[in-house]
Structure 1
Amino acid sequence: MKIAIIGTGNLGKSIAKGLINTNAITTLYLTKRNTDSIAEFDGYKNVNLTTDNALAVKNSDIIILAVQPSHLEGVLKGISSLLTENHVLISTVTGFSIDKIETIVGADQFIIRAMPNTAIAVGKSMTCICSNLKGTKRIKVAEAIFNRLGHSLVIPESQMQAATVVCASGIAFWMRLIRATTQAAIQLGFDAKEAQELAMHTSEGAASLLIANGHHPEEEIDRVTTPKGCTIEGLNEMEHKGLSSSLIQGMIASYNKISNIRKEQV
């Protein structure tokens, strides 16, 4: 694949590393206003660093837009005249709808939106993807890219805000749960390093069980709990204190916030 990443900041760098490490490219162009900040990629075979977005677009088939939201409109206007019928546009920019992109570059382009999370840096992102009507013909291209960087799911654009909460903000929610588990382990006698190690790998194991066997979480809970045992005692105490309710309400609050921000932007 001949790919250009326009705006190689933290997210763009993570995508680039994943593509390079999985041999997903034949040619890769990385653009940045100051290429010194992406000098770590200098010397990689078939990787080109440039400040020229036009050069990157002309030499690529797939264009991944990873700029700041306030910069995207200007970037699109700058490259729109260079786009051909074969180019695939993949935007990772939050809050910039497909309609807005179409207004600038036209509805006859393959346009895809992708919402990765910060775990993309370690190849474990849960990335949600949607497209315009024409983009459905190239959605598999986006899936192939982001499946190399974790896992992807195609959803309607109307669900992208919810996906932002569940997947992007969700990283922070899970971090808080891991942090709380770490604190409990410290109180139970482990030192801080050991406590975090226990919390991290136990949470990884729990998720891995569900990914591997496709079970409902309650099935795995039933495997761990015994009548009058310590596990059910702890679970019941957590529920009495509102664990599930607090998590659900927190996610709904995040969704309401992002929805209000979107309304203000319209």
Structure 2
Amino acid sequence: MAANHPEIIEIKHSRFRARVSVRGAQLLNFAPTGDADWLWCTDEKFISQDRPIRGGIPICWPWFGQHPTRDDLPSHGFARLMDWVLISSEDFGSFYQIAFELKSSDKTMAMWPHDFTARVMMKFGDYCSVHLFVKTEGEWTGALHSYLAVNDINQVRISGLGESYQDNLDNRVVKTEKPSVVVNGPTERLYLRPEPLARLHHGSKSSHKLDLHHEGNSDVMLWTPWKGAGISPADMSAQDYKRMICIETSRIQKPQKNGKLSVRLEKNSNLEG
């Protein structure tokens, strides 16, 4: 591995395969055996220790987006930019579990002046889940920023987001839309009253449905850069927008102290819905 490349743990199991970056405790790839990857991740040539990894499920914490008062601090917080400590990795038979921990330090206190202990637990089987647990007296916002792999962005449909959303590309105006959402351009929407389960439909086959179960969130962010908007040539190719959509389990409207965020992804083969 190159010196400027973050440490990546590869898990090859009879039931699945997964890749996890120690920096950011970030799940990069997951696929049950015999299935395509459920998560989109940028090409290996774009992965560097110097910048956030575009793809998988980055952990945005302890703030989402730009810091509210300091322009010098990183977007989406520092958690995704720091090396976490691997504290456990175990095969339980029906599922595999891996966990990481990050604690406050002089470096984090300079950016966010609160003591904290954060843990990330991931479970893999015929599903995958990511859980963020936080103990702190400081109020935080954040998200599990899932980049989901799709066959063609033009064939994507999402249900379970609710009808009311804040359009961040139109001066944060609150709008309403039908429950089944399609995207046809740059999109950055904060859904204000989402259901606990969102369903991603992509492609014409009934098997191309992925369920996202949210827990601990106050909202859900839907994001796609589309053609060029928000894309940096340093972290993804120009055509990659066609193969990904972000449905983010977020805590933005209602900051909290001690708490958790969780998302569970599982394939849905039901012919209905």
Fold shared per TM-score above 0.5: no
Point out the structure with the larger helix share. 1
* TM-score, scaled to structure 2: 0.26
Larger Rg, first or second structure (1 or 2)? 1
Point out the structure with the larger strand share. 2
Say which structure, 1 or 2, has more relative contact order (CA 8 Å, 6+ apart): 2
* TM-score, scaled to structure 1: 0.27
